[in-house]
Amino acid sequence: MGKRRKVSIKKFLTGLVCILLFFITFAINAKGKRGFAFLQENTADTTKTDTTGKNKKLPVQSTASITDSAKKITDTTRKPKVDTLAMSKDSINAPVEYNAEDSAVLLIPSKKFILYNKANVKYQGTQIEANNINYDQGKNLIRAYGGTDTSSNPLNLPKITQDGSTSISDTIWFNTASQRALTKNTYYTEPGSEMFVFAKRIKKVDTDVEYAYDARFTTCNLDTPHFAFHAKKVKLINNKIAVSGPAYPEFEGVPMPVAIPFGIYPLYKGRHSGFLPPQFTSNDRMGLGLEGLGYYKVINDNWDVTTRADIYTYGGYKLVINPKYMERYKYSGNLNLSIQHTKSVSTGLSKDEFDITNTFMLNWSHTVDTRARPGTSFSANVNAGSTKFNQNVPNNVSVNFQNQLYSSISYSKTWDDGKYNLTMSANHNQNNYSHLININVPTVNFTATTVYPFQKKEAVGTPKWYEKLGISYTGTMLNQIAFYDTSFSFKRLLDTAQWGVQHNIPITLALPALGPFIISPSVSYAERWYGQKILRNWNDSTNKVDTSIYRGFYAAREVQFGLAFNTRIFGTFNFGKSSLRHEIKPFLSLNYKPDLVKKYYTNVQIDSTGKNFRRMSQFDGSPVGSFGEGQFGGMNFGIDNLFEMKVKNPKDTTGDHPTKKIRLIDGLSLNSGYNFFADSLKWSPISISLRSTLFEKVNITAGATIDPYAVDTLGNRIDKLLWKQGSIGRFTGGNIAVSTSFQSKSKDGKKDSQRLQPDQTMTPDEQQRQLDMVRNNPAEYVDFDIPWSLQTSLSVNFSRILNPDLKGFTTQINSNLNVNGDFSLTPKWKIGGGTYFDFRTAKIQTLTMFITREMHCWQMAINITPVGPYKSFNIVLNPKAGILRDLKINRSRFFYN
């Protein structure tokens, strides 16, 4: 046994070089004799100098390329004899990288190498870190162990990393030849996995398989986990799974009186097929049930499918099939088909014991990556199904009150550098309350951007004014089908089918600015084609208006001439250290439109008196609409305002930004018009709009329409200005929406932009569904780093709608208030809720409340909906980790009004 010497790194390297030179000389002189293998430090490369004077690294030779003898080579040129370096068979076959903070000791007689204090060794993809590392070359064995600090606490525990898997232990034995290892008191995890393994001993038999004794599986990352599954013997396969025999759960180290005969634990994040466990629920109308029972199947790298089922004891069920597909840089999408058989206890209005309904819902979302086919795009967002489907979905208030469904499928192609664009689409919308379904298929739109026919191909000098004359084209073809799902038939479907085509050709001229004014003359030609016309006549025998539909080809045309003036005016008002900036954007346009559609308008008698008539077009109700009647020769005018304030910046301490801008009003506009050629009702209605973001927190949008003329008893406008009576006019429509949100500062200092990281692989439809899931289960998605938050919105709108019998108008007013918020009772308890109040009915339509408890690796959530037609209560206790999210204690009850 050689004498142990402790030297510094510098002295060690000097001695190592001398030893290397000695053994190389010895090996060359002793031909055919057994040599000695040694470790080579990776950071100190041996170099040689070539003829250019540059240094080159000597290549590392493998033992397979080195022989024990020298061949004798002779030829006519008498080449010199070359000997090869002889090395031992037990030498290592790859370089070893190592370092240590304190020192390294080489024991030559026993072939041992020892690193002290924060040692690190890398060998063939395996890295070992420890307080001390001992390498025995004769046995190909590395032993690593930790140390202790001045308080006798563990210090620099051994850590081995191989193929991404990491183990932290008290002691590690690793064989460099067989790649086998043995560890004690080990903490083990896989890359990207939420699962942690704690074992008394782990034996590594090869690069992929380990055996553990007295192991605990958990998703808690604490040294002493809050919960775990305890098993005596376990087999682990890297980046795949772990399999154990009988196991039982532990909470805070206390074993529970339940057990499983065997366990399979996934050790990696990613897709893999498997069963989806259900949750138990109780519904007063559907009975007891299991919800969410299903299976997830990975078909290939681009496809997977999820199937789920809800089963209830009264005989109802729901089946959901959800395939998803994605190919990177090409396309992605998902299809969701839900078939619902609802069998619920009768509400009492029916003589039958149960109410039975069969409904379905189809959702399809598809997007194409713009890089797949430049200039071509295809997208789909389909949401269609039975009108009663949403009413029968349990524990989902936002879906229960969703009465409108929309769908869109669109294909677009652009060519010739964007000059031409063709779009074909299919659209659908349905009202679940009225059961009316409208389908537009296909809708074709073609657009040609502005071209300048008089512009020279190569501009020379200042262009002439006529060179800026531009012409463009937009054409649209619409096909529409409308029907009620309660009385669907193919014949009625054909009766309601309509089509229409619209052509627009605008001609513009960009003239040089005339001082502060910009002048824009324009000419516009429009033509519309119709597939039917409607004639309305009063029937004296039935005392109602009869409608006759005539199929054929009909056309109407319109021409407009205009000259527009606009400019911008700025003003600043200073007061003290602050200033108010006012920007005014007035515009004035002179327009002329001849009456080319007068022949398509008729006076329709609407009552038996024969005195009340309404002016209506033969093309009302067409997909492309009808042109407005009457000759117009007048002006349209308006003004838009912007108000900003510049104030002292209280956050500026360096003087670089002494002031900051505050938007008071983003836009305040007023528009109207006057027709010189009209014989009556010359003034156009006045439209007013307001946009503002007060204090960068309160969003306000408002709008109103004011009619300056009075009306008769049936609601028809008469040529009598209300201005002359001291009134500004009649409000015929308007809206106002105010919304704001407040929240306290985050404990971790992150901003919302840092917190909200949507999954870019998800389609917009999937992101919306994920958002709906958060809204429906707020207790499971709260942020404990934000002590409190509040969101509120108020909406008021009113309008006047023509009665179905054409006799007068009805004013409709809708107003509602939404309030949502939460606050932390303690750092671990949070309470919150939300409500929706309808001022029209003076009732609280929905009220939801929740309370949740943060428990590090677990979370408890209680959700209550005590008000509304769909009442519910549920309590959930589950781990936070997604891999164990279905391992939960759930209690749900639903009540229907």
Using one digit for the tens of pLDDT, what is the confidence trace for 450-466?
888 888 877 777 778 88
Closest CA to 581 of 660, 528, 515, 649: 660
pLDDT, mean over the chain: 80
The distance from CA 453 to its chain's CA centroid, rounded to whole angstroms, is: 45
Per-residue pLDDT at 752 exceeds 70: no
347 or 463: which leads in pLDDT: 463
Q: Quick check: helix, strand or coil at residue 37? A: coil
Please give the torsion angle defined by the CA atoms of residues 798, 803, 809 and 810, in that order, rounded to the nearest 10 degrees: -40
Cis peptide upstream of residue 255 (ω within 30 degrees of 0): no
**Is the pLDDT at 369 greater than 60, yes or no?**
yes
| Contact of 896 with 314, CB cutoff 8 Å | no
pLDDT tens profile 426-450: 999 988 888 888 888 899 999 999 8
Which has the higher per-residue pLDDT, 352 or 652? 352
Q: Between the ranges 603-612, 613-622, 648-657, where is the mean pLDDT highest?
A: 613-622
Give backbone dihedrals phi and psi of 467, rounded to 5 degrees, phi first. -70, -15
pTM: 0.63
Write the CB contacts of 836 (distance below 8 Å, at least 6 apart in sequence).
816, 817, 818, 844, 845, 846, 847
Q: Characterise 480 by phi-psi region: left (phi > 0), alpha (psi -120 to 50), beta (else).
A: beta
Q: Tokens 């510094």 belong to which residue?
A: 8
Backbone phi and psi for residue 591, each to the nearest 5 degrees, phi listed first? -130, 150
Mean pLDDT of 546-566: 92
**What does the alpha-carbon distance between residue 396 and residue 426 come to, in Å, rounded to a whole number?**
29
CB 243 within 8 A of CB 234: yes
Least confident among 96-105, 185-194, 212-221, 808-817: 185-194
What's at 221, amino acid-wise?
Answer: N
**pLDDT value at 132 more than 50:** yes
| Residue for token pair 């985050």 | 746
Alpha-carbon distances of 394 from 313, 398, 866, rounded to whole Å? 15, 11, 14
On whether the CB atoms of residues 403 and 391 are closer than 8 A, the answer is no
